[in-house]
Structure 1
Amino acid sequence: MQDGPEPSPLKLAYVVDSLVTGGAERLVVTFARATRNRPDIDLTVFVLSGGGTPFSDELERMDIEVVYLPGKTLLDVGRFLKLVSELRKRSIEYVHAHLTSSTVLGGWAAAFLRLPFATTIHNVKTSTARVSKIRGALYRSVLRMPGTVRIAVGQAVAKAARVDTGGRDCIVVPNAVSSDAVAPPGARAAVRAQLGMKDCKVLIAVGTIIGQKAYDDLLAAYAQVSVRVPDTVLLVVGNAPDANRYENLQKLAADLGIAEQVRFLGQRQDVPDLLSAADLFVSASHWEGLPVSVLEAMANGVPCVVTDVGDNALILDSTGAPVVPPEQPNMLARSLLDLLQDDIARKQVGQAARTRVAEHYGVNAWVEKLTKIYSNQKYQKRRFSFGLRNSTSAASFAADHRDETS
């Protein structure tokens, strides 16, 4: 008796706002790397911006098809219609969006094509708070669509998202970190020699320079640390989309007398190596979801000192890592000093962190949870409904409001 034909792979679309930098973007790349040789997944990545970025280059080197869909505004009608066309042309069977704009456009396109749709919510606060009311309304309408699968990256995100989902629950699929995020042997010594900090105690912060990350609080805390432990360096790794904010941080470092000890490295492609060179990872964020940067630090055995936001306390549970209230630079400084001045405790916390991330935040389990969601809904057809007036189509609504959503 002959076996039946092999089942065809799921034609899966990931839609993401950009591939410049950030935890959500890194997760798209991580998923692509983890599934590229699987016979059950055929992934195409759709990006609502242009290419030529480190993450897009990484995907293309893996032979993952990337479709670029830059647009003038969120509801650029031409871009929306092209997204629909490209999804149809590739016979996409499931659409999964990441971040706000992709949720809006991906959700509408999937509904138009009657495809199953999921969106991952990455933060306890969405970017809609900082843009137009129309954008926020569109985002919430997709989260409340019949059939939308809402995935939260952590417990704190799931709880916070109930405001936008209208009380609807999310499936919690915690973020993961891949083995690619672990620096190779010898990286620590090489980076420290390259940056001229061979004998220094090194602190590192990783994340885009935006208000959420509270780098002003971090500098205020580090200024206190540098007085007690002067032979230290603080590395700040991340791009700065707001030039004024970046200049203000540089001025603050100068005013605090720590300009020579704080190094703004910008966006880097060797983050694992930089993490391995550090003695402490620090985050002063005012809010988070489940930050990939913390997971990557843990995977490299770097002890963490972070604020008690998002799922930070949960992912660091039982490691001994200090978790302090946000907006309290003095408390952050004390916790940093405690670990900097205790070599044994620092080593124990780093080892515990490495063990915990390996046991609870591995890529294989993460991918299996996601593919199970896709498999359960692959053959479901969706109603064409946007949570707006029944007579309003996506294209006509976009045309009516395109100037309000830029």
Structure 2
Amino acid sequence: MNTPSPAAPLRLAYVIDTLVTGGAERLVVTFAKAVEDRADIQLTVIVLNGQKTPFMEEIQATRTEVVCLPGKSLIDPRRFLRVVAALRRRRIEFVHAHLITSTVVAGFAARLLGIPFATTIHNVKASTARVSRVRGTLYRAVLALPGITRIAVGQAVADAAQADTGNRPCLVVPNAVAPEAALTDAQRVTARAALRAELGFDQPGAQMVLAVGAVIGQKAYDDMLTAFAKVAAEAPQARLMIAGKAPEPNRLAALEQQITELGLQDRVQFLGLRRDIPALLAAADVFLSASHWEGAPVSLLEAMANALPCVMTDVGDNARILAGTGTPLAPPHHPDALAEVLLRMLQSPDLAETCGAAAKQRVADTYSVDAWVDRLSRIYRPTAKVSGQPHNTPPLSHLSQTHEGERAR
């Protein structure tokens, strides 16, 4: 096991399945940017995929090394050995994994090398309920390893994770919002005008409802369309924009058929994968989610950071995140209730403005990047410097429990 020198930066490896898109992937980017100028952390990001993506380019723009180690399968022995070699060659002192494949591969690699290991659980639904038996068995085996640190992004996630952890405790470290996710007032005015003109919302009174997230079952876009159909008749100026990749063509086709059957062809538009989410949030009037389950969604935090009123289902940590903002929630699987809350937000400008302003303040007070990085630093090294300064660190009990050749700097 490599022991860090008190005066030397901690050699830390983040391991993640891909850097295509998603909340976990965005958090890795946010962390890399946040520690770029810190003297106490030297970060390497290992990606178990060879695809070059905008997220990867953002990380490479910092002083963070990115190592791509794609494999043929979860249990590809050649990839596993390359991960072991990469960790050993860089004398990594702590490994932090995100998502299932990375947890399995990096967890066993870290154990083989005697390196401290942590994994973050991102979703409230038991992960192994949605994966193959082999993958689920290996994932639970890593979570059961003695001495590892299990991190949950919210209390609801920690509670739900008990099925996978065998009732072993998790440390709760809430997600954070990247500073660049929130536009300045001047940027917001410019982005709002440009995007609303681009998307056809430049007429007086037009209302843009925005949903952000991959077109997958979890997000319940069928419920969202059913709810929006009920709203459309009473809010004729409202249109729904959905931003997110569609990895399942059949699901997208079914949703497009549902749009036709509901007569919403001129009221709903799939925008596909977008890289201008802050600008879209600035252009929108309401943020909408119909998810059947979530963890602590980064998309919600980003909407709040931009003072956007949110209409959400009461799943995961949504209620905790929105606590004190006056934002009404709808139960999942109930499109009628979701429609009622959405219509109320669209027809009550004062409520929308109040909820949006309170949400922005809530994010600023509770979900800052500095606080998030400091919490993680105390996990990586209990005597870590916090925000680059010496710190008398509280014990961990202070936190809630419940292809290498392609690398670049």
Q: Distance in 1 between matches of 2:61 and 2:369?
A: 20
**Residue matched to 1:287:** 293
How far the C-alpha of 1:376 sits from its partner, in A, is: 2.3
Q: Residue 137 of structure 1: SS of its match in structure 2?
A: helix
Contact 1:26/1:55, CA 8 A, preserved across alignment: yes
Q: Distance in 1 between matches of 2:374 and 2:40?
A: 11
Q: Distance in 1 between matches of 2:6 and 2:295?
A: 39
Q: Distance in 2 between matches of 1:175 and 1:343?
A: 29
TM-score by length of 2: 0.90
**Residue matched to 2:20:** 20
Q: Distance in 1 between matches of 2:327 and 2:81?
A: 49
Q: Residue 381 of structure 2: SS of its match in structure 1?
A: helix
Q: Residue 376 of structure 1: SS of its match in structure 2?
A: coil
**Residue matched to 1:54:** 54
How far the C-alpha of 1:48 sits from its partner, in A, is: 0.8
Instruction: Name which of 211, 217, 221 aligns with 1:215.
Output: 221
Gaps of 5+ in 2: 385-409
Q: Distance in 2 between matches of 1:177 and 1:349?
A: 18
- TM-superposition CA deviations, 1:49-87 (whole Å, max 9, x none): 113211111111223211111111101000000000011
How far the C-alpha of 1:127 sits from its partner, in A, is: 4.0
TM-score by length of 1: 0.90
**Is it true that 1:125 corresponds to 2:125 in the alignment?**
yes
Q: Distance in 2 between matches of 1:197 and 1:127?
A: 39
Q: Distance in 2 between matches of 1:24 and 1:318?
A: 26
Q: Distance in 1 between matches of 2:263 and 2:63?
A: 48
- TM-superposition CA deviations, 1:84-138 (whole Å, max 9, x none): 0011111111000000110000100000000000000000124432322111110
**Residue matched to 2:202:** 198
Matched to 2:74, the amino acid is: L
How far the C-alpha of 1:322 sits from its partner, in A, is: 1.4
Q: Residue 107 of structure 1: SS of its match in structure 2?
A: helix
Alignment of 1:256-275 (within 5 A): 256-275=262-281
Matched to 2:36, the amino acid is: R
Contact 1:97/1:106, CA 8 A, preserved across alignment: yes
Q: Distance in 2 between matches of 1:246 and 1:377?
A: 49
Task: Determine what percentage of the aligned residue pairs are the same residue.
Answer: 57
Q: Residue 208 of structure 1: SS of its match in structure 2?
A: coil
Alignment of 1:7-406 (within 5 A): 7-183=7-183, 184-185=187-188, 186-199=190-203, 200-376=206-382
Contact 1:232/1:261, CA 8 A, preserved across alignment: yes
Q: Distance in 1 between matches of 2:128 and 2:367?
A: 29
Contact 2:128/2:164, CA 8 A, preserved across alignment: no
Q: Residue 28 of structure 1: SS of its match in structure 2?
A: helix
Contact 1:309/1:326, CA 8 A, preserved across alignment: yes
Q: Residue 382 of structure 2: SS of its match in structure 1?
A: helix
Q: Residue 176 of structure 1: SS of its match in structure 2?
A: coil
How far the C-alpha of 1:231 sits from its partner, in A, is: 1.2
Matched to 2:61, the amino acid is: R
Q: Distance in 2 between matches of 1:60 and 1:240?
A: 26
Q: Distance in 1 between matches of 2:341 and 2:102?
A: 39
Q: Distance in 2 between matches of 1:328 and 1:126?
A: 22
Contact 1:83/1:109, CA 8 A, preserved across alignment: yes
Point out the more displaced range, 61-70 or 219-228.
Answer: 61-70
**Residue matched to 1:385:** none
- TM-superposition CA deviations, 1:29-54 (whole Å, max 9, x none): 00000001100011010111113211
**Residue matched to 1:387:** none
Contact 1:289/1:311, CA 8 A, preserved across alignment: yes
Q: Distance in 2 between matches of 1:91 and 1:260?
A: 57
**Residue matched to 1:389:** none
Q: Distance in 1 between matches of 2:73 and 2:381?
A: 33
Matched to 2:379, the amino acid is: I
How far the C-alpha of 1:7 sits from its partner, in A, is: 1.1
Q: Distance in 2 between matches of 1:126 and 1:192?
A: 39
How far the C-alpha of 1:275 sits from its partner, in A, is: 0.6
Alpha-carbon spacing, 1:377–1:259, altered in 2? closer, same or farther (3 Å): farther
Contact 2:23/2:298, CA 8 A, preserved across alignment: yes
Q: Distance in 1 between matches of 2:208 and 2:354?
A: 17
How far the C-alpha of 1:368 sits from its partner, in A, is: 0.1
Point out the more displaced range, 189-198 or 361-370.
Answer: 189-198
Contact 1:116/1:377, CA 8 A, preserved across alignment: no
Contact 1:123/1:157, CA 8 A, preserved across alignment: yes
Gaps of 5+ in 1: 379-406
Matched to 2:80, the amino acid is: F
How far the C-alpha of 1:189 sits from its partner, in A, is: 1.3
Q: Residue 150 of structure 1: SS of its match in structure 2?
A: strand
Q: Distance in 2 between matches of 1:95 and 1:7?
A: 20
Matched to 1:359, the amino acid is: D
Contact 1:100/1:126, CA 8 A, preserved across alignment: no
Matched to 1:281, the amino acid is: F
Count of paired positions: 374
- TM-superposition CA deviations, 1:354-387 (whole Å, max 9, x none): 0011101111100000001001299xxxxxxxxx
**Residue matched to 1:394:** none
How far the C-alpha of 1:6 sits from its partner, in A, is: 7.9
